[in-house]
């Protein structure tokens, strides 16, 4: 005959006391949680960052198949019979590239006497004096030189061989300051740790006139901003007559743009994400860089949410480029939807454990007016219903909790000794 061990009176009293405590605890809330399903607010389920990376070609100057000469260019000019006889070749320039900008780039020898275009946009030629060449293509410069030497009776038509090459294009001097990480390898950190301080990088670029744009400035200094930087780029204009302040509507700027405008600072904030259905907020002229401009990639201020309740308390950073819902928040907190994973979170250690999982999450959120709202999420529904997956915002406090009947079930299973179901002997 099977012998069953009776349940001791002390355990029954403990069970009754636990049930009473549960009832008392559930009636002490000062703010009543609101069920997510009863809130008609699509913003609670909308992704935090719905934007997509913009077409990166918009960050560069429109390509052109013609080069227009201007002040600062160094031209190679060779005129036969004016710079020597036909038997004596003209000067050959061999540019030296110590650090090629592109793989496989090799210096190309250029024929001609090196002449720099001065500030007035002219070059000074032997025997004919200055010739205005600013705004002309290389072939048009050749026509101007040919005409000048023919008028000076140094060349004859039909025997007017000359060449004009571009030895060194004019450059634009730009400073680039970056506060994102310059490491090439991905960095992993604990969920409860974040960077307190780090040192940024700075570089002064001498950019050719064909590449003086935001795209080439980023490419030359490490690429697009990392996830520890904001997904936009500031361009601070050096010239006092630069275009007026460009205040964009994309995202939340980290710097008050109206303060910059009031201080007389000329700037452009160029977003690197594009929101569907919205027009671009910058024009092709905004990505062009000029002498003295500063490109600034700003470090992103870390955004956190907090966890508690059945989860180990902690401060967890939110990612920049994608949203985290309530289930993802619990996973990031090293929890599990079917109950705590053990350790300090496991409140039932003397019996079979967390047989009945918690199905309630409370999210404490501060509104814009400073008030607090408690949002209750049913985790059972959230597993299969996307409308129950609350999107976590910075500053949210996520608490994983048992419902009263779940606590009672787990307490009962851990208090009652199930050995009475097993025969005590043969």
Q: What is the pLDDT of residue 82?
A: 73
Backbone angles phi, psi at 422, to 5 degrees: -105, 130
Distance of alpha carbon 37 from alpha carbon 378, whole angstroms: 9
Distance of alpha carbon 163 from alpha carbon 113, whole angstroms: 10
Q: Which helix (H) or strand (E) holds 412?
A: helix 404-415
Q: What is the pLDDT of residue 320?
A: 80
Distance of alpha carbon 286 from alpha carbon 270, whole angstroms: 8
Distance of alpha carbon 328 from alpha carbon 234, whole angstroms: 33
Q: Which helix (H) or strand (E) holds 141?
A: helix 138-151
Q: What is the pLDDT of residue 349?
A: 44
Q: What is the pLDDT of residue 279?
A: 82
Inter-CA distances, 203 with 179, 198, 233, 300, 419, Å: 12, 17, 15, 20, 73
Residue ranges of the chain with pLDDT lower than 50? 1-2, 4, 23-29, 98, 100, 102-104, 185, 188-190, 249-250, 340-351, 420, 422
Q: What is the pLDDT of residue 68?
A: 94
Distance of alpha carbon 22 from alpha carbon 207, whole angstroms: 70
CB atoms within 10 A of CB 348: 18
DSSP per-residue string spanning 196-219? S----EEEEEEEETTS-BHHHHHH
3-state helix, strand, coil in the chain (%, to 5): 20, 25, 55
Backbone angles phi, psi at 147, to 5 degrees: -65, -40
Distance of alpha carbon 212 from alpha carbon 169, whole angstroms: 12
Q: What is the pLDDT of residue 48?
A: 67
How many CA atoms does the CB half-sphere of 329 hold within 13 Å?
33
Distance of alpha carbon 289 from alpha carbon 237, whole angstroms: 8
Q: What is the pLDDT of residue 10?
A: 54
Q: Tell me the whole-structure pTM to 2 decimals.
A: 0.69
Q: What is the pLDDT of residue 13?
A: 53
Distance of alpha carbon 68 from alpha carbon 140, whole angstroms: 10
Q: What is the pLDDT of residue 362?
A: 92
Token pair for 193? 């740790």
Distance of alpha carbon 277 from alpha carbon 54, whole angstroms: 13
């Amino acid at each position: 005959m099977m012998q069953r061990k009776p349940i001791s009176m002390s355990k029954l009293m403990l069970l009754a006391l636990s049930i009473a405590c549960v009832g008392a605890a559930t009636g002490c809330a000062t703010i009543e949680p609101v069920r997510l399903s009863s809130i008609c607010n699509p913003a609670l389920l909308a992704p935090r960052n719905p934007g997509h990376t913009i077409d990166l070609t918009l960050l560069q100057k429109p390509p052109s198949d013609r080069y227009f000469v201007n002040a600062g260019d160094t031209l190679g000019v060779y005129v036969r019979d004016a710079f020597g006889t036909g038997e004596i070749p003209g000067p050959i320039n061999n540019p030296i590239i110590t650090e090629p900008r592109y793989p496989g780039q090799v210096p190309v020898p250029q024929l001609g006497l090196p002449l720099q275009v001065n500030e007035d946009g002219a070059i000074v030629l032997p025997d004919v004096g200055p010739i205005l060449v600013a705004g002309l293509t290389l072939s048009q410069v050749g026509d101007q030189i040919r005409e000048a030497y023919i008028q000076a009776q140094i060349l004859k038509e039909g025997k007017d061989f000359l060449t004009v090459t571009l030895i060194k294009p004019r450059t634009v001097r730009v400073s680039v300051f970056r506060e994102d990480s310059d490491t090439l390898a991905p960095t992993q950190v604990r969920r409860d740790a974040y960077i307190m301080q780090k040192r940024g990088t700075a570089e002064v670029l001498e950019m050719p006139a064909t590449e003086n744009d935001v795209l080439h400035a980023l490419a030359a200094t490490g690429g697009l901003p990392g996830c520890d930087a904001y997904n936009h780029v500031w361009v601070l204009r050096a010239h006092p007559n630069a275009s007026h302040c460009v205040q964009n509507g994309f995202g939340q700027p980290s710097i008050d743009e109206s303060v910059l405008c009031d201080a007389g600072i000329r700037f452009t904030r160029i977003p690197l994400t594009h929101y569907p259905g919205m027009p671009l907020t910058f024009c092709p002229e905004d990505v062009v860089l000029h002498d003295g401009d500063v490109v600034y990639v700003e470090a992103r201020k870390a955004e956190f949410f907090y966890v508690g309740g059945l989860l180990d308390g902690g401060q967890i950073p939110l990612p920049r480029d994608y949203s985290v819902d309530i289930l993802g928040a619990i996973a990031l907190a090293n929890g599990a939807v079917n109950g705590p994973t053990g350790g300090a979170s496991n409140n039932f250690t003397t019996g079979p454990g967390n047989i009945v999982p918690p199905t309630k999450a409370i999210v404490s959120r501060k509104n814009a007016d400073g008030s607090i709202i408690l949002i209750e999420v049913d985790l059972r529904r959230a597993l299969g219903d996307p409308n129950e997956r609350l999107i976590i915002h910075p500053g949210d406090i996520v608490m994983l909790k048992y419902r009263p009947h779940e606590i009672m079930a787990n307490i009962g299973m851990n208090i009652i000794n199930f050995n009475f179901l097993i025969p005590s002997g043969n």
